[in-house]
Amino acid sequence: MVHHVVPATAETVHWGYFSRTLEPILSIASGDLVTIETLTHHAYDDHARMIAGDAGAESVFHWTKDQKNVDRRGAGPLDASTYGRGSGEGLGVHICTGPIFVHGAEPGDVLEVRILDVQPRGSRNPDFAGRAFGSNAAAWWGFHYKDLLTEPRPREVITIYELDASGAQNWARAVYNYRWVPQTDPFGVVHKIIDYPGVPVDHCLVMENHSILKGIRVPVRPHFGIIAVAPREAEFVDTIPPGYFGGNIDNWRIGKGGMMYYPVAVPGALFSVGDPHASQGDSELCGTAIECSLTGTFQLIVHKRDELGGTPLADLHYPLLETADEWVVHGFSFADYLAELGEKAQREIFTKSSLDAAMRDAFRKMRHFLMTTKGLSEDEAISLMSVAVDFGVTQVVDGNWGVHGILKKAIFTADDPVRVV
């Protein structure tokens, strides 16, 4: 068993898209450990706290008139011919580290991802030693955006949070907020709203309000918004809508100690991690979490298709979370939007968001899990879901909206050896 280390640099990340065509940055064996640095795409909301002095972040975010280290940001055209925002058009926003090729992983297999450790990335600016920072953007894609009470309407607001980099304190607090004002990127494009990731924010143009959310401690729940295998359907896939391949699930339970299972769609799985969060509430209401760079340690294990029968992974066609106490299924407005919505899927999905559909998908997946893994009849599964499974709103901001279903392991006692896995 080898332990690999992957720093986040301009060479090890892909920004805003998944692609089965990407060259792997690393190849590993099933069972290997890998420590992976991930960077939040919101770091430039406060360069001083989240980029300055950090060689990896500086490498990824470097953007001057003459040089943009990571040019493509999003699954859109390289020449920005659709909206003129920039290369990739920001159709997909998350910085992902990877992809990693896992030897032996083939379509039909299941990739198990054990999240062994998650640590915040401390500020490398000596002025902020010992602290880590994150940004929460209440943005145009948020659930609240067209439904504001107070002027000016609409508006986008960035709130910077800080937490203890050592992990000794389990809470974050707000440092300040500011209203987004038009920002001109180094190539001269004006971004009136937050329509392209990694645009440098000029703090001379914004007004920082430092007396906010006083006395409020936000519980820290470090997790990865994105853990993904590469989807099979399209060459370039926007990182925003989650799907069968995982991706931007944005469930805060996908943290340390968790185990995720994904159906492998392409040879080698092509595993990527990104969208690190310090904290998020169920729904991710305003569009983002506390977006905060994190480093994770993972063990990746391939389960071959023909060895899955009779295990909890039998016939797994969706991303499944196992924690110490729970099984969690993830429903989406469309279980497999890339296949279901056809060629225009990557545009259409943003017009068809619905919790009602996501609830239906979560119901179907939990029923499948109970019938397949636990051997229940359909009548048993449906009754049990109604009296003992909790469904919650994962997110209402990622195009393919999410509802999760939580099944407590303790429900299954040891006195029925046939049914207990």
Number of shown-chain residues binding its own copies (CB under 8 A): 74
363 binds its own copies per the rule CB under 8 A = yes
- What's the distance, CA 48 to chain centroid? 24
Nearest Cα to 133, choosing from 48, 32, 71? 48
Torsion angle defined by CA atoms of residues 164, 13, 143 and 338, in that order, rounded to the nearest 10 degrees: -140
Residue carrying structure tokens 């986040």: 8
Applying CB under 8 A, among 9, 38, 177, 299 the residue interacting with its own copies is: 177
Residues between 335 and 354 with contacts to its own copies, criterion CB under 8 A:
354
Residues 131-160 that bind its own copies (CB under 8 A): 136, 138, 142-144, 147-150, 157, 159
Residue closer to its own copies by CB (options 122, 402) is: 402
Task: Report in angstroms how near the CB of residue 390 gets to its own copies at its nearest.
Answer: 4
In whole angstroms, give the CA distance from residue 102 to residue 161.
36
By the rule CB under 8 A, 5 interacts with its own copies: no
The answer to whether 169 contacts its own copies (rule: CB under 8 A) is no
Identify the residue among 25, 29, 189, 212 touching its own copies (CB under 8 A).
Answer: 212
Q: Which residue, 232 or 352, is less far from its own copies as judged by CB?
A: 352
Nearest to 280 by CA among 321, 250, 240, 314: 250
Helix axis angle, 355-372 to 378-388, nearest 10°: 120
Cβ 89 vs Cβ 32: under 8 Å: no
Span of 16-24, 40-48, 88-96, 392-400 interacting with its own copies by CB under 8 A:
392-400
Q: How far is the CB of 413 from its own copies (least distance, A)?
A: 5
Q: What is the 3-state secondary structure (H, E, C) of 317-373?
A: CCCEEECCCEEEEEEECCCCHHHHCHHHHHHHHHHCCCHHHHHHHHHHHHHHHHHHC
Q: Give least dist CB 166 to its own copies, A.
A: 20
Task: Choose between 100 and 158: whose C-beta lies nearer to its own copies.
Answer: 158
Ranges within 240-299 binding its own copies (CB under 8 A): 279-290
Show contacts with its own copies in window 395-414 (CB under 8 A). 396, 403, 408, 410-414
CB 171 to its own copies: min, Å: 8
Q: Does 306 bind its own copies (CB under 8 A)?
A: no
Closest CA to 349 of 294, 282, 398: 398
Q: How far is the CB of 407 from its own copies (least distance, A)?
A: 9
Quote the CA–CA distance of 24 and 245 in Å, as a whole number.
17
Query: Which residues in 53-112 contact its own copies (CB under 8 A)?
Result: none
- Exposure of 384 by Cβ count < 10 A (0-12 exposed, 13-18 middle, 19+ buried)? middle
Tell me the C-alpha distance between 266 and 254, whole Å: 23
Cα separation, 32 vs 3, in Å, equals: 6
Phi, psi of 337 (to 5 degrees): -60, -30
Chain-centroid distance, C-alpha 175:
24
Regarding 214 and contact with its own copies (CB under 8 A), the answer is yes
- Return the range that interacts with its own copies (CB under 8 A); candidates 124-132, 191-199, 237-245, 369-377: 369-377
- Of 351 and 386, the one with the shorter C-beta distance to its own copies is 386
Greatest C-alpha distance within the chain: 68
Q: Within 113-132, which residues bind its own copies (CB under 8 A)?
A: none
**C-beta of residue 154 within 8 angstroms of C-beta of residue 146:** yes
Candidate residues 116, 193, 308, 384; the one interacting with its own copies per rule CB under 8 A: 384
Q: Is 355 in the site for its own copies (CB under 8 A)?
A: yes
76 or 402: CB nearest its own copies: 402
Q: Pick the binder of its own copies from 5, 129, 216, 421 (CB under 8 A).
A: 216
CA–CA distance, 16 with 93 (Å, rounded to integer)? 4
Q: Check binding of 230 to its own copies (CB under 8 A).
A: no
Helical (H) or strand (E) element with 111: strand 110-120
Member of 393, 398, 400, 402 binding its own copies (CB under 8 A):
393
CB of 373 to its own copies, least distance (A): 13
CB of 64 to its own copies, least distance (A): 31
35/354 with CB nearer its own copies? 354
CB 167 within 8 A of CB 66: no
